[in-house]
């Protein structure tokens, strides 16, 4: 929900770092993989209840995630392969953070963490499934034209998810409550994406039939 407002603000702030990284000869894909590995460090840190160390790893992961796409555009290296790598590792990172809290306190966090992971599967699958169909119909990307594939809006997007992870680290004792609340918001996102995506694609198919018959 907030990505379309936050992204234009962040992009100019990344430019100096992007120019420096480009001069060092680092590729966007290398930055993507490095950022993912940094993000995975949060899992053992969470498991051992090192909350602020995990928070630092999460924040650094997100900074690097913003830099890899900006670097790709700056260096004219944007590609479908890079977009695939980026989104795949992003979703693996998103799933890893609740796992870290489950490992930290299975008795208190396991059920809420499992519900949140199921909700993440729903938001992720609805997001990616629509992107595949959107590519088939060549749907325009009015809000995220620089992305390598179609970004379907929802109540819970990247910005909201990172805010949740930060809240987890600041108030780990409230993980179950925060996870459950966010899972409800994810359920709303899943419903709206399925409903909106289905009807959008039905309309595209109908338009295609009409155009083929003309």
| Residue 176: per-residue pLDDT | 97
* 8-state DSSP, 154: -
pLDDT of residue 148: 46
Query: pLDDT tens digit string along 115-137?
Result: 999 999 999 998 888 888 877 77
Among the listed residues 65, 68, 86, 90, the single catalytic one is 90
Convert the pLDDT of each residue in 55-97 to its tens digit: 999 999 999 998 998 899 888 888 889 989 999 999 999 999 9
Q: Which residue has the higher pLDDT, 171 or 78?
A: 171
Q: Is 90 a catalytic residue?
A: yes
Residue 145 has pLDDT above 60, yes or no: no
Phi-psi category of residue 150: left, alpha or beta, with phi > 0 → left and psi -120 to 50 → alpha: beta
Taking residues 134-145, what's their average pLDDT?
64
Q: Is the pLDDT of residue 165 over 90?
A: yes
Q: What is the mean pLDDT of residues 185-205?
A: 89
pTM of the model: 0.85
Average per-residue pLDDT for the chain:
87
Look at residue 105 and tell me whether its pLDDT is greater than 60. yes
- The number of beta carbons lying within 10 Å of the beta carbon of residue 55 is 18
pLDDT of amino acid 140: 67
Residue-wise pLDDT for 23-61, tens only, equals 898 999 999 999 999 999 999 999 999 999 999 999 999
């Amino acid at each position: 929900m907030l990505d379309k407002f936050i992204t234009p603000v962040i992009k100019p702030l990344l430019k100096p770092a992007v120019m420096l990284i480009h001069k060092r000869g680092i590729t966007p894909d290398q930055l993507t993989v490095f950022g993912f590995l940094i993000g995975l460090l949060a899992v053992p840190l969470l498991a051992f209840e090192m909350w602020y160390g995990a928070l630092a790893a999460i924040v650094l992961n997100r900074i690097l995630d913003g830099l890899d796409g900006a670097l790709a555009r700056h260096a004219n290296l944007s590609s479908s392969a890079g977009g695939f790598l980026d989104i795949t590792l992003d979703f693996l990172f998103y799933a890893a953070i609740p796992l870290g809290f489950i490992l930290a306190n299975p008795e208190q966090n396991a059920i809420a963490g499992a519900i949140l992971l199921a909700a993440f599967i729903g938001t992720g699958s609805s997001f990616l499934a629509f992107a595949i169909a959107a590519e088939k119909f060549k749907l325009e990307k009015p809000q995220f034209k620089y992305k390598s594939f179609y970004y379907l809006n929802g109540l819970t997007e990247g910005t909201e998810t990172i805010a949740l992870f930060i809240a987890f680290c600041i108030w780990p004792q409230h993980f179950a409550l925060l996870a459950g609340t966010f899972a409800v918001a994810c359920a709303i996102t899943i419903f709206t994406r399925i409903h909106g995506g289905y009807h959008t694609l039905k309309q595209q198919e109908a338009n295609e039939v009409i155009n083929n018959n003309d």
